[in-house]
Amino acid sequence: MKSKISVILVLIFFSGLGCALKKDVVTLDNRVGELRLRVVTAENDISRLKSRSEEIAKLTDELTAIGEEKEKNLRGLTAGQLAEIEALKEKIQILSGKLEETDHLLKQKLRILEETDKKMDGRLTGTEEISGAYKERIVRLEQYLSLDSREKTTTPVPVAGTYEKKEGTEDEIYTSATRLYDGGKYAAAREMFQEMLTKYPDSDKADNCQFWIGESFYQEKWYEKAIVEYQKVIEKYPNGNKLQASLLKQGLSFYSLGDKVNAKLVLNELIQKYPKSNEAKIAARNLKGFN
């Protein structure tokens, strides 16, 4: 009787351990997603600051050239022209100050980006360590209870939001995933799209799978996650057919989060690079509505 009670208590502990593992993994995954979002935002800020720095430097050079040319004929100038030269000099000094300020901000952004990368690496390392520790504990518990996963005959019941994995071809998995998405089962669709990316990373539908993962988060109004997944499409599949759509939805995701600066930056990039695309027309209409 005592032996049975001990086994039951261990099983209860085993079940609680599994729940804790899932909860920790989800929490860590959310933190990694937040860090990736910060990286995307910082990269956009750096791009904007670099552009501003180049514009100021160009204008400074132009004003300097004008001032030098005028100084060559300084002896024949009137009092009004001399005043104009002095005004130009003041403008050059002001622009030089702004350039230094921009460079300082750019260095700050780069430092923040580097610190974020280090934190992300640390979080990922911590996740791997925790996962390994849990696996070791589970193995020890299985050995204690004489339970071998290969000998289990009961069929696991899929939890809410998941699907029962089955072997299938590339087209079958993609079709099933899109049906789940169309049916509003976004979490289950996400799992199946991810499964296809894992099994068939070189598929011609890989960029579509990655895009629909982002779309599933967008439909759930989880815009931070959506931004990160759209960024994967932009970086991994620059020649894919979902690039323009990813830029559009990433911009709209930033806007939904109240970040109008990055929203405008992404949508303007879409319009400049792909002006004839339907997504660019949609982006232009949305920009007109931004306050």
pLDDT at 281 over 90: yes
Number of domains in the chain: 2
DSSP 172-219: HHHHHHHHHHHTT-HHHHHHHHHHHHHH-TT-TTHHHHHHHHHHHHHH
**pLDDT average, residue stretch 138-167:** 43
The pTM assigned to this predicted structure is 0.49
Q: Are 17 and 49 found together in one domain?
A: yes
Q: What is the pLDDT of residue 18?
A: 55
**Does 257 map to a domain?**
yes
pLDDT at 94 over 80: yes
Cα distances (Å, whole numbers) of residue 51 to 96, 99, 109: 16, 11, 14
Q: What percent of the chain has pLDDT over 90?
A: 41
Neighbouring residues of 11: CB distance < 8 A, sequence distance ≥ 6: 145
**Does 161 map to a domain?**
no
Q: Are 191 and 119 found together in one domain?
A: no
Q: What is the band of 220 on the pLDDT scale with cuts at 50, 70, 90?
A: very high
Q: Which domain holds residue 60?
A: 2-149
CA-wise closest residue to 190 among 171, 168, 218: 218
CA-wise closest residue to 262 among 249, 272, 251: 251
Polymer length of the chain: 291
More confident residue, 69 or 287: 287
Q: Are 125 and 183 found together in one domain?
A: no
Q: What is the CATH number of the domain that holds 232?
A: 1.25.40.10
More confident residue, 256 or 80: 256
Mean pLDDT of the chain: 76
Q: Are 137 and 201 found together in one domain?
A: no
pLDDT in tens, 58-89: 877 877 777 666 666 655 657 777 677 778 87
pLDDT at 252 over 90: yes
pLDDT at 181 over 60: yes
CA-wise closest residue to 64 among 41, 40, 93: 93
More confident residue, 2 or 107: 107
**pLDDT average, residue stretch 173-200:** 96
**Does 253 map to a domain?**
yes
CA-wise closest residue to 33 among 161, 217, 242, 234: 217
Contact at 8 Å (CB) between 271 and 247? no
**Does 63 map to a domain?**
yes
Q: Are 145 and 175 found together in one domain?
A: no
More confident residue, 8 or 155: 8
Q: What is the band of 98 on the pLDDT scale with cuts at 50, 70, 90?
A: confident
Q: What is the pLDDT of residue 137?
A: 44
Q: Are 8 and 145 found together in one domain?
A: yes
Q: Are 176 and 266 found together in one domain?
A: yes
**Does 155 map to a domain?**
no
**pLDDT average, residue stretch 164-190:** 89
**Does 159 map to a domain?**
no
Least-confidence region, from 50-54, 116-120, 165-169: 116-120
Q: What is the CATH number of the domain that holds 25?
A: 1.10.287
pLDDT in tens, 203-213: 999 999 999 99
